[in-house]
């Protein structure tokens, strides 16, 4: 079976973000299972309906990458009990004109220093991804809410907590099987 081409969308623009560390862990650990490309959002402009007739180049590129992928992994922090504005903004762009995420298999993950591990942000993200303009397919039953991340990474930001690594291994395998079914 051919490896899936997956876009990993990072919902944080902070270079020191723990979610960036999770994204890098996923890119490194599962490169033998998936062809992955990291999509960062720091340069995407704010959604503006006035620009839809002549999309900014980065928006065209990002929409094309998502549309041409076999699936998407979204790594999101939680800000004020919801998704970061930059992530919502990107999804707004993806939902307009030639929509990029329709029936696209999506896995969601996030880490936090708190107890809930981005639960509320991911609930909102699932609602957004399920909206009519987006119509993505979110992977059921494999929620990745990694809490108290500071206890699970080493001083270099590398994941060291074996139960979490094993859990991620299982979820990635589930995502591959599920996305392959959708794409077949």
Helix, strand counts (H, E) of the chain: 5, 6
Residue 100 has pLDDT above 80, yes or no: yes
- The pLDDT of residue 157 is 84
**CA dihedral in degrees (25, 31, 33, 39; nearest 10)?**
80
Measure the CA–CA gap between 182 and 184, rounded to whole angstroms.
6
- The pLDDT of residue 13 is 97
User: How is the chain split into domains, by residue range?
Assistant: 4-183
The stretches of 69-152 forming alpha helices (DSSP H) are 85-94, 119-130
51 burial via Cβ count (<10 Å: 0-12, 13-18, 19+): middle
The mean pLDDT of the chain is 96
Q: Is the dihedral of CA 18, 19, 23, 25 positive or negative?
A: positive
- The pLDDT of residue 155 is 84
pLDDT, tens digit, for every residue of 116-164?
A: 999 999 999 999 999 999 999 999 999 999 999 999 999 888 899 999 9
- Range scoring the smallest mean pLDDT among 29-33, 64-68, 107-111, 115-119: 115-119
| pLDDT band (50, 70, 90) for residue 1 | low
Mean pLDDT of 17-35: 97
Residue 7 has pLDDT above 90, yes or no: yes
| pLDDT band (50, 70, 90) for residue 37 | very high
**Phi and psi based region of residue 103 (left: phi greater than 0; alpha: psi -120 to 50; beta: remaining):** left
Q: Which CATH number fits domain 4-183: 3.40.50.720, 3.20.20.70, 3.40.50.360, 3.30.70.3270?
A: 3.40.50.360
- The pLDDT of residue 33 is 98
- Determine contact, residues 121/158, Cβ cutoff 8 Å: no
């Amino acid at each position: 079976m051919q490896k899936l081409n997956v876009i990993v969308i990072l919902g944080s623009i902070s270079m020191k973000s723990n979610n960036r560390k999770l994204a890098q862990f996923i890119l490194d650990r599962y490169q033998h299972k998936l062809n992955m490309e990291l999509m960062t959002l720091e340069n995407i402009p704010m959604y503006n309906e006035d620009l839809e007739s002549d999309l900014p180049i980065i928006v065209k590129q990002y929409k094309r990458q998502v549309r041409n992928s076999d699936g998407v992994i979204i790594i999101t922090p939680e800000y004020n009990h919801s998704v970061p504005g930059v992530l919502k903004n990107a999804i707004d762009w993806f939902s307009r004109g030639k929509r990029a995420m329709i029936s696209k298999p999506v896995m969601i993950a996030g880490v936090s220093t708190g107890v809930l591990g981005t639960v509320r942000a991911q609930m909102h993200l699932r609602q957004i991804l399920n909206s009519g303009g987006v119509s993505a397919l979110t992977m059921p039953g494999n929620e990745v809410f990694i809490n108290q991340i500071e206890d699970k990474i080493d001083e270099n930001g590398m994941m060291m907590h074996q139960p979490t690594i094993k859990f991620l291994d299982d979820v990635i395998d589930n995502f591959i099987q599920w996305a392959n079914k959708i794409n077949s």
